Copies of this chain bind each other. A is one copy, B any other.
Amino acid sequence: MVVHEVPSGTRCFDWVVPKEWAIRDAYIIAPDGSKVLDFSDSNLHVVNYSVPVDMEIDFDDLQPHLHSLPEQPQAIPYVTSYYKEDWGYCLPHAVRENLPSGRYRVRIDSDLKDGNLTYGEIFLRGASDREVLISTYVCHPSMANNELSGPCVTAQLAQWLRDQDRKYSYRILFVPETIGAICYISHHLPQLKEKTIAGFVMTCVGDERAWSFMPSRQGNTLTDRVARHVLQHIAPDYKEYSYLERGSDERQYCSPGVDLPVASVMRSKYATYPEYHTSLDNMELVTPTGLGQAFVAHQKMIEVLEGDCTPTYQILCEPKMSNRGLRPTIGKVGSANDSRNMMNLLAYADGNRPLLEIAEIIGVPAWELRQIAAALADLNLLRVEDHS
């Protein structure tokens, strides 16, 4: 991974890279000298981007700087103040309710100064210079489903991809949400537009509750088609959201004039589950099973992308399969339905339909049909023209 630094003040379309925030310590001391909260217990305790503060303050004056959730009294909320200079603390409502009146000591040992926006980029070259974009965000990894799960599964995918024979090249980004994506796009737009054939924003890929799909703005790109195909087979009860319910970096990648084919396959979508943006979005919500299933879903999507091709018949009318020992089963592939799938694949291999479309017609996973296509190509019953 190459780590890039973009200095504060750099213009990115309508935006400017903000100052860099460093936080070292933060606490509140109650009138009786006890610590109400301590940054070292949870970095959610401090409003992100808080300016430094070190003073005594009356309980009433402290109130506007405290954030808590009456409906979730045990949760520490996640609060940011990126573009307005401010400071504050987040704490469980149950704790807040028991705070006595009096004079408090508040201290936030932070810096807000010129620095850099930092992002990571992995580029895995494939046989073709056409690219699949995978973008995840690293701006609030203190929470688990949204959003440490995204970088986690992305890293795992990168590791797996590194060892694959790749038709396509893969551009994998670890950026801060919004400003990071805008920054990247503003510096690489022509090549992104020229080369990107599919893309995914990797977010909320850790829990085991829902399967969710956020389509691209156009809604019918190759990415959308591949994502729906895989979800229909691995999670047929998945929920497809409208692009009107978007909320992550597809907002930038799909924006007019950028128009990349980027979608998101998620488990519980951001802003739809109660633990979202609180300390309860933790490793009880996210599980190894959930992470693993999301990894497999993305693996399948990549397999479908990589394996897509246009198969063309090589023999007119149905071939005589018994001549080739191909009825009723093909040993190599194995499933009991293989013979039927094989005949169906031959029936639609008219040279005008991508394998993915044939898989949709037949109702079988494209990654299985790809193996059947390969077997039939070995028998000279099909010619397979790879997409690239």
Contacts and interface: CB of A to CB of B under 8 A. Distances in A.
Interface of A: 12-15, 83-84, 178, 181-182, 185-186, 189, 217, 243-244, 246, 251-252, 254-259, 312-313, 315-320, 322-323, 344, 346-351, 361-363
B14 A320 contact: yes
A256 B313 contact: yes
11 contacts: A12-B317, A14-B317, A83-B320, A84-B322, A181-B317, A182-B317, A244-B362, A246-B347, A251-B318, A256-B312, A256-B346
A252 B317 contact: yes
Counting from the closest, the 7 A-B pairs by CB-CB distance are: A256-B350, A256-B313, A14-B319, A182-B317, A252-B317, A14-B315, A14-B320
A185 B317 contact: yes
A298 to B, nearest CB: 25
A149 B361 CA distance: 32
A363 B348 CA distance: 33
Given A14-B315, A256-B313, A251 B347 contact: yes
Contacts of A350: 256-257, 259
Given A251-B347, A362-B244, A185 B257 contact: no
A380 to B, nearest CB: 11
A316 B187 CA distance: 12
A358 to B, nearest CB: 11
Contacts of A217: 347-348
Given A83-B322, A316-B185, A317-B186, A256 B14 contact: no
Given A244-B362, A317-B182, A347 B14 contact: no
A189 B84 CA distance: 64
A30 to B, nearest CB: 34
Contacts of A255: 313, 316-318, 346-347
A197 to B, nearest CB: 20
Q: How many copies does the complex hold?
A: 3
A15 B315 CA distance: 10
A255 B255 CA distance: 43
B189 A316 contact: yes
A79 B15 CA distance: 73
B362 A315 contact: no
Contacts of A316: 13, 185-186, 189, 255, 257-258
A9 to B, nearest CB: 14
Contact of A318 (B252, B323, B351): B252
Nearest to A251: B318
Nearest to A256: B350
Nearest to A252: B317
Nearest to A178: B318
A182 B316 CA distance: 9
A181 B317 CA distance: 9
A346 B255 CA distance: 8
A83 B348 CA distance: 26
Of A12, A178, A347, A362, the most chain B CB neighbours within 10 A belong to: A347
Contacts of A257: 313, 316, 350
B14 A323 contact: yes
Contacts of A15: 317, 320
A317 B258 contact: yes
A319 B14 CA distance: 5
A254 B343 CA distance: 13
A217 B189 CA distance: 43
